[in-house]
Amino acid sequence: MIKISKEMIIGDILNEAPDMGAVLMAAGMHCIGCPSAQMESVEEAAYVHGIEPDLLVTRVNAFVESQAQEAKAE
């Protein structure tokens, strides 16, 4: 999996790892299907949705890491 940063463009993240859509939506980013997602950074979208960007990135990366660890354990 990829490590997410707040500078990354949402569309680029989804192109690289489509399953991140569910993770971002669970974190409150319900804009992943809108045209703006193709141009907005995680930070910009977080602010629009009233989410603190650093906290969002921390939560998303923690989820990604937990999924990777579960996959290794199997």
Q: What is the pLDDT along the chain (74 residues), one digit of tens a residue?
A: 678 999 999 989 888 888 888 888 888 887 777 888 889 999 998 998 899 999 989 988 988 888 888 888 87
Q: Which residues contact 41 (CB under 8 A, 6 or more apart)?
A: 6, 7, 8, 9, 10
Distances (CA, A) of 19 to 16, 31, 60: 9, 15, 12
Taking the model in full, what pTM does it have? 0.80
Whether 45 maps to a domain, the answer reads: yes
What range defines the domain where residue 51 resides? 10-73
Whether 4 maps to a domain, the answer reads: no
Whether 5 maps to a domain, the answer reads: no
Whether 1 maps to a domain, the answer reads: no
- What total number of domains does the chain contain? 1
Whether 50 maps to a domain, the answer reads: yes
Whether 41 maps to a domain, the answer reads: yes
CATH number at 33 reads: 1.10.3910
Whether 20 maps to a domain, the answer reads: yes
Whether 36 maps to a domain, the answer reads: yes
